[in-house]
Amino acid sequence: MNIFRLAGDMTHLMSVLVLLLKIHTIKSCAGKSYPCSLCFILLESSSGISLKTQELYALVFATRYLDIFTDFISVYNTIMKLIFLGSSFSIVWYIRRHKIVRRSYDKDQDTFRHFFLVLPCLLLALIINEKFTFKEVLWTFSLYLEAVAILPQLILLQRTRNIDNLTGQYVFLLGAYRALYILNWIYRYFTEPHYVHWITWISGLVQTLLYADFFYYYFSSLKNNVKLKLPA
């Protein structure tokens, strides 16, 4: 474990916590008989969260952590896997099933057909992988899928007029975690013999590059202290 990877995992954890906080905020609004103005805004405007991206991430974790009960690596590793699995599936459940949270989900805007991402990633994983075994192919599939899983969310953000800052922070943290992982791979490449994983590295690089324009608008909105807005 190195500082880049720990920072990456913590950033990833933060992104999940921000999303859970946002869902909790929406839920708690409903409890009030006369919703406060913030609640009114939250409940009326779309949450800006893409259910498609959340479903893709649940699939990423489900196919990535198949070995959670067979290969024990460390307590930290197992706990983090359980957190990511549990949170991604519960977020999907909330947006799909929870009577209040799903009202804040704008399915008319979140129209990205994520099937078009799943199939090519699966085909690519069947062709390019480190070992043609069931677990290895699904693990490789999860890497390819994670690289593109943010696309529905980024497209939804372009369509959402006012991006509330929790959603903006969520996407920023999600992009930052993989950027930190790239530093971790560089560090491990130079410090550990025969640590070479091209598939992981290229997928991680593509994933981070997809956030490039978001990062640009995110930092310029911070610098100019204006509302985050992505060009359509």
Partner 1 sequence: EECFHAKDEL
Give the separation between CA 102 and CA 157, rounded to whole angstroms. 18
Q: Which residues bind partner 1 (CB under 8 A)?
A: 5, 9, 12, 64, 67, 71, 73-74, 77, 80-81, 84, 130-131, 139, 181, 184, 192, 194-195, 197, 200
Within 13 Å of residue 81, how many CA atoms lie on the same side as its CB? 18
CB of 26 to partner 1, least distance (A): 28
Q: Copy the structure tokens of residue 44.
A: 């009326």
CB of 232 to partner 1, least distance (A): 34
Q: Which is nearer to partner 1, 194 or 223 (CB)?
A: 194
Q: Which is nearer to partner 1, 84 or 105 (CB)?
A: 84
CB of 1 to partner 1, least distance (A): 9
Q: Which is nearer to partner 1, 65 or 112 (CB)?
A: 65
CB of 89 to partner 1, least distance (A): 16
CB of 124 to partner 1, least distance (A): 18
Give the separation between CA 231 and CA 185, rounded to whole angstroms. 33
CB of 77 to partner 1, least distance (A): 7
CB of 197 to partner 1, least distance (A): 6
Q: How far is CA 227 from the centre of its chain?
A: 22
Give the separation between CA 96 and CA 115, rounded to whole angstroms. 18
Q: Which is nearer to partner 1, 1 or 123 (CB)?
A: 1
Q: Which is nearer to partner 1, 131 or 223 (CB)?
A: 131
Q: Which is nearer to partner 1, 36 or 196 (CB)?
A: 196
Q: Which is nearer to partner 1, 16 or 42 (CB)?
A: 16
